[in-house]
Amino acid sequence: MVQVMVKVKTFLNDCSEKAKQKSHIWISFAILVAIISLLRLILWFPHWKVSQFGINNATENATLENQYSAEVNFINQLFGISA
């Protein structure tokens, strides 16, 4: 059991050293994941918000989705101005 723990510790130390050497790749990956998550949220939020109302009329449904989409775009613009 002790030998297994030593091997695991050695493996984790090796992985840690490799990650430190290639930290720019991990940072880029984290940024990419954050951007994809934000885009999914932006596209999903209006549909989710409108589905709570249980509207069957397609025109009203589309109008409300567009209004919520505009709300999300406004919030995104505020974040863009502050960046």
The pLDDT tens digits of the residues spanning 51-69 come to 888 888 888 888 888 887 7
The answer to whether residues 42 and 76 touch, using CB atoms and an 8 Å cutoff, is yes
Could you give the angle at which helices 58-82 and 23-51 cross, rounded to 10 degrees?
150
Confidence check: pLDDT of 19 > 80: no
Confidence check: pLDDT of 35 > 80: yes
Predicted TM-score (pTM) above 0.75: no
